[in-house]
């Protein structure tokens, strides 16, 4: 596909790594030598991430990855992009390759039953099957499977508490119903199904390869997917056949935006959007505006500007949530004394 020269590879493997630096350093060297961009996470529980580059570059990196003990059969999903969807190459050490925050969950020893994309429609069409979308709320907002339950969780870390609170309502105080779960590429469901099994739920299933594999393999005319699938790179979203979707990205809060939202008065490129405009302080908007200005000047000079980092985004979201909680607390206190 000459109009989409970049290969995008999303990969993960749950396996045991004892010496993390012995995995990280050679992996980073292999990526830099091949010229790929993206982010890979290395933890004691395995490897996860997405990289992009030429077909030859991706092939070289995957050859190295498959030579790592425990990664010979690593799960990889491929897509295409017209432009490089990442700004730099990072290989980072983490406590978890996908953060759930529950101790003792090990997908290598206990996990749900894998369901191939071709068999997924039959499973979720069964009236005895409870279908749960395990992704974050802003991901679910732009697309999900027909009939799926949306937990409305801001992060995957919130999923265990949500399930424990909703368990009686979901299962009817029994472990017998079938529970089918899905996520973008399959990795979150490795943990969510392992978590449900650890909680005593017996019949747990998950979509093998995730939504991306389903959109790649299931013809659109047979699909039960509605909308687009959010992806964590510059493509923002993909549809059937993994074609790039219609959503843009707010550079301030990383929320996917429709074309209508891009035209809203609250939208300012790199500064705010209808989802974050009221949550951001004037100081935050000023910093974002300056960052956007520097990025524009860098482009004019033909240079690359890395923009806002994921660490900054996480810190920003945390600060905004804390500010919102404090405002709610003060409002409740004022009402109590009113």
Which residues are marked as active site? 183
**Among candidates 212, 217, 213, 250, which has minimal Cα distance to 228?**
212
3-state class of 81 per DSSP?
strand
- Residue 10 tokens read as 């999303």
Looking up tokens 């570059």 gives 57
Question: Within its chain, how far is the Cα of 171 from the centroid?
Answer: 27
Q: List the 37-43 sheet strands across, edge first.
A: 75-81, 6-14, 46-53, 37-43, 89-93
State how far the Cα of 27 lies from the Cα of 236, in Å rounded to an integer.
26
Which secondary-structure segment (H or E) carries 215? Answer: helix 210-217
Q: With contact defined as beta carbons under 8 Å apart, do 83 and 8 qualify?
A: no
**Among candidates 30, 28, 38, 32, which has minimal Cα distance to 7?**
38
Which secondary-structure segment (H or E) carries 159? Answer: helix 159-171
State how far the Cα of 281 lies from the Cα of 291, in Å rounded to an integer.
15
Cβ partners under 8 Å of residue 187, min gap 6: 12, 48, 75, 97, 98, 210
Q: Tell me how crowded residue 329 is: count the other CB atoms within 10 A of its CB.
A: 10
- Residue 182 tokens read as 């899905």
- Looking at residue 244, what DSSP letter applies? B
Q: How deeply is 293 buried, as exposed, middle or buried, from its count of CB atoms within 10 A (0-12, 13-18, 19+)?
A: exposed
**Among candidates 152, 201, 149, which has minimal Cα distance to 173?**
201
């Amino acid at each position: 596909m000459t109009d989409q020269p970049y290969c995008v590879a999303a990969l993960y493997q749950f396996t045991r790594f004892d010496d993390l630096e012995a995995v990280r350093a050679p992996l980073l060297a292999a990526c830099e030598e091949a010229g790929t961009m993206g982010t890979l996470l290395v933890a004691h529980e395995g490897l996860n991430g997405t990289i992009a580059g030429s077909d030859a570059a991706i092939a070289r990196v995957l050859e190295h990855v498959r030579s790592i003990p425990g990664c010979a059969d690593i799960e990889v999903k491929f897509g295409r992009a017209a432009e490089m969807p990442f700004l730099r190459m990072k290989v980072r050490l983490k406590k978890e390759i996908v953060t759930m925050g529950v101790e003792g969950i090990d997908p290598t020893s206990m996990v749900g039953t894998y369901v191939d994309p071709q068999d997924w429609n039959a499973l979720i069409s069964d009236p005895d099957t409870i279908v749960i979308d395990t992704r974050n709320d802003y991901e679910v907002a732009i697309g999900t499977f027909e009939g799926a339950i949306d937990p409305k969780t801001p992060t995957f870390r919130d999923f265990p508490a949500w399930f424990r609170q909703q368990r009686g309502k979901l299962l009817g105080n029994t472990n017998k119903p079938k529970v089918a779960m899905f996520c973008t590429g399959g990795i979150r469901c490795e943990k969510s199904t392992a978590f449900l099994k650890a909680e005593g739920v017996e019949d747990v299933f998950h979509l093998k390869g995730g939504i991306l594999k389903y959109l790649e393999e299931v013809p659109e005319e047979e699909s039960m997917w509605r909308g687009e699938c959010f992806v964590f790179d510059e493509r923002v979203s993909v549809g059937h056949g993994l074609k790039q979707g219609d959503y843009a990205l707010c550079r301030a809060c990383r929320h996917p935006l429709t074309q209508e939202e891009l035209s809203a008065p609250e939208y300012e490129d790199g500064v705010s959007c209808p989802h974050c405009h009221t949550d951001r302080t004037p100081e935050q908007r000023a910093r974002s505006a300056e960052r956007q200005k520097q990025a524009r000047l860098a482009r004019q000079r033909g240079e690359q500007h890395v923009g806002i980092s994921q660490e900054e985004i996480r810190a920003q979201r945390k600060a905004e949530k804390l500010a919102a909680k404090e405002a709610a607390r003060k409002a409740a206190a004022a009402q109590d004394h009113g």
